[in-house]
Amino acid sequence: MVEGVSLAELADLIGARLERGDGAKRLLRVASLEDALADSLSFLATARQRRYLAHTRAGAVILRERDLAAAPVAALVCDDPHLAFARAAQHLTVATRPRAGIHPTAWVHPEATLEAGVAVGPHASIDAGAYLARRVSVAGGCVIGAAVEIGEDTCLLANVTIYPNTIIGRRVIIHSGAVLGCDGFGYANDAGRWVKVPQLGRVIIGDDVEIGANTAVDRGALGDTVIEEGVKIDNLVQVAHNARVGAHTAMAGCSAISGGTRVGKYCRIAGGAGLTGHLRISDGTQVTGMTMITHDIREPGSYSSGTQMTATRLWRRNAVRFNELDEMARRLRRLERQLFELQARNAQE
């Protein structure tokens, strides 16, 4: 932790208005409304959190104007408390950066290039032709293949694997267990037997990307798989060969993109969603949880599929009826036709 930030400094930093507080008071940490103490900064962003506000012991709370009257402590008033809290928290917390240098148990190929300030942890491996720019951090157990390029201030957490020829931008964070550049799932069928199609492309990661734990980004079959700048990818996500994820898109856990699909910029893909192959998804699209996308989305908006949770007994009955929808639709069309004919006869009489 740093020595703290004053309320006045925080207000300037996040563009908030300080109410009922001493601008010289310094806060040291961040915490939830329930757990915060007098040296902590908290925030109120949703109606669900409001029940904790009256009893909070936080040193200050970031909130909207409409919640100010209910705050028992100093308040920083702004339009978007969640965003403001994120910015404030970056100044109240400091990530621990490893000391520059190569651990004695690490292996670095003589033909690899490591710029000033690079840190390589225990049992890491860096192959020939790899290039690590200034202040790159490689934690223990990471494997960096031949001819990999990694930009300044990028951080690889423990046991990340980067396959050869992968290109990673600046200020990227890759969490433990992630694999970048593995072979795409490409096979040709020969009378029932699978013949592997060589995967010859690369993975290219833009600046300011974050990739979650145990996520896999496959190399392209011929062209490249591309994750553009500012993309945020959660844990356990699959990005298949030759996919492209547009700038500042966010993908939640267990979502997956099949080969060749292009996701636009500023999209939001919720947990468990799946996108089939070779689709085009418009900029600004939102996909809700567990949705299956099987065709192009040409207009931005929110898209959903699947059914909501209900009692198992009712769900089973509805599932049976779902399988009867086609026959029901046919019968309805027949009835509509018969009704139309009957009305026509009555009109003639």
Catalytic annotation, residues: 241
Helix (H), strand (E) at residue 314: helix 312-323
Q: Which amino acid is at 11?
A: A
* Residue 101 identity: G
Q: What 8-state DSSP symbol labels residue 152?
A: T
**Cα–Cα distance between 268 and 234 in angstroms, integer?**
12
Written as six digits, the tokens of 161 are 């694997």
Q: How far apart are CA 27 and CA 31, in angstroms?
A: 11
d(CA 320, CA 348): 42
Q: Which helix (H) or strand (E) holds 327?
A: helix 325-348
The token pair at 101 is 């240098």
> CA angle, 30 as apex, 27 and 35 as ends, to 5°?
110
Cα–Cα distances in angstroms (integers) from residue 311 to residues 272, 317, 320, in the given order: 21, 10, 15
d(CA 305, CA 71): 40
Nearest alpha-carbon partner for 127 in 164, 167, 79: 164
| Partners of 74 in the β-ladder | 60
User: What distance in Å separates the CA atoms of residue 185 and residue 221, rounded to the nearest whole number?
Assistant: 9
Q: Which two tokens stand for residue 273?
A: 């969603």
Instruction: Please provide the distance, in angstroms rounded to a whole number, between the alpha carbons at the two ends of the chain.
Output: 90
